[in-house]
């Protein structure tokens, strides 16, 4: 299969490239000028440089499917609502529409667990039917993108899936995120202060998430015109403190793990687990 990929220099995207090439797929990957993947690639895709707003019909016309991983706002500092909706909704929908016009009938899009927001804490296991009640600008834009995908799927009779990964971790993760900062402290011999760690999360390895996107491309259980939603997780709830202690020991850290040193964030959701 020849795949058009966005977000190939991102955290999930770089792992997707390695999994896709291992499975024998060809990938045409869109990247911003100067951007590079955060992990080594086993093989280079056919890179094209530009943005979601550009005309990519020539490249799309040569592909069988579109995998859309690119998004603005993953970094918490990028929270300008207008920019998030411009990129995550308007420009993304424009690209998806180009793909459909070029004859691509299979789209696999990356949603977010943060689309559920406040509703997620009302469930022991969050179903895909849970109301979307995002609590930040990024979650709002991703929820709006899902509704845009609904509209495209309905009006163009295509096969379109939105996959919502939960708490992804692994090599290439942004330095400010929990697992990455935990690893940096462990390997440098520093102490690591954290909360009591009673938050319950579904921590899913990034390679498993990348594999889920590949699997979705090859599934034949979808009816054209009906958007398919999937939560991506392990199905194994875990306390944050247990997760931290496992990895601290795995890395043979010489520093101390100071559990309870930090306060919980305001309005911390203590349980956020998907039904998978």
| Domain ranges (residues) in the chain | 2-169+203-232, 178-201+236-272
Q: What percent of the chain has pLDDT over 90?
A: 93
Give this prediction's pTM: 0.95
Q: Environment class of residue 223 by beta-carbon count within 10 Å: exposed (0-12), middle (13-18) or buried (19+)?
A: exposed
Q: What is the CATH number of domain 178-201+236-272?
A: 3.90.25.10
Per-residue pLDDT band at 62 (split at 50, 70, 90) = very high
- Which residues sit opposite 177 in a β-bridge? none
Per-residue pLDDT band at 268 (split at 50, 70, 90) = confident
How far is 16 from 8, CA to CA, in rounded Å? 8
DSSP strands (E only) in the chain: 2-6, 26-31, 46-49, 65-68, 106-110, 159-165, 167-169, 192-194, 200-201, 203-205, 228-232, 238-239, 257-259, 271-272
Per-residue pLDDT band at 221 (split at 50, 70, 90) = confident
How many C-beta atoms lie closer than 10 Å to residue 98's C-beta? 20
Asked whether residue 78 carries a pLDDT value surpassing 70, the answer given is no
In this prediction, residue 217 carries a pLDDT of 95
In this prediction, residue 240 carries a pLDDT of 98
- Given CATH 3.30.1490.100, say whether it is the number of domain 2-169+203-232: no
């Amino acid at each position: 299969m020849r795949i058009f990929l966005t977000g190939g220099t991102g955290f999930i995207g770089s792992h997707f490239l390695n999994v896709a090439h291992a499975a024998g797929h060809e990938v045409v990957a869109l990247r911003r000028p100067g951007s590079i993947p955060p992990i080594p690639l086993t093989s280079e895709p056919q890179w094209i440089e530009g943005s979601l707003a550009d005309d990519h019909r020539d490249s799309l016309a040569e592909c069988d499917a579109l995998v859309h991983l690119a998004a603005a706002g993953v970094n918490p500092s990028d929270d300008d609502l207008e920019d998030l909706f411009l990129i995550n909704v308007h420009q993304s929908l424009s690209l998806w529409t180009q793909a459909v016009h070029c004859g691509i009938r299979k789209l696999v899009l990356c949603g977010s667990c943060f689309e559920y927001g406040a509703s997620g804490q009302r469930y022991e296991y969050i179903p895909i039917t849970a109301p979307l009640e995002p609590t930040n600008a990024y979650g709002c834009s991703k929820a709006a993108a899902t509704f845009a995908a609904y509209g495209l799927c309905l009006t163009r009779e295509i096969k379109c899936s939105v996959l919502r990964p939960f708490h992804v971790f692994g090599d290439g993760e942004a330095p400010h995120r929990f697992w990455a900062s935990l690893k940096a402290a462990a390997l440098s011999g520093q102490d690591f202060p954290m909360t009591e760690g009673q938050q319950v999360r579904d921590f899913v390895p990034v390679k498993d998430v990348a594999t889920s996107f590949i699997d979705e491309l090859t599934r034949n259980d979808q009816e054209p015109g009906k958007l398919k939603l999937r939560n991506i997780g392990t199905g194994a709830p875990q306390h944050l403190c247990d997760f931290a202690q496992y990895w601290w020991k795995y890395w043979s850290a010489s520093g101390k793990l100071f559990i309870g040193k930090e306060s919980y964030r305001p309005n911390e959701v203590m349980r956020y687990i998907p039904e998978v």
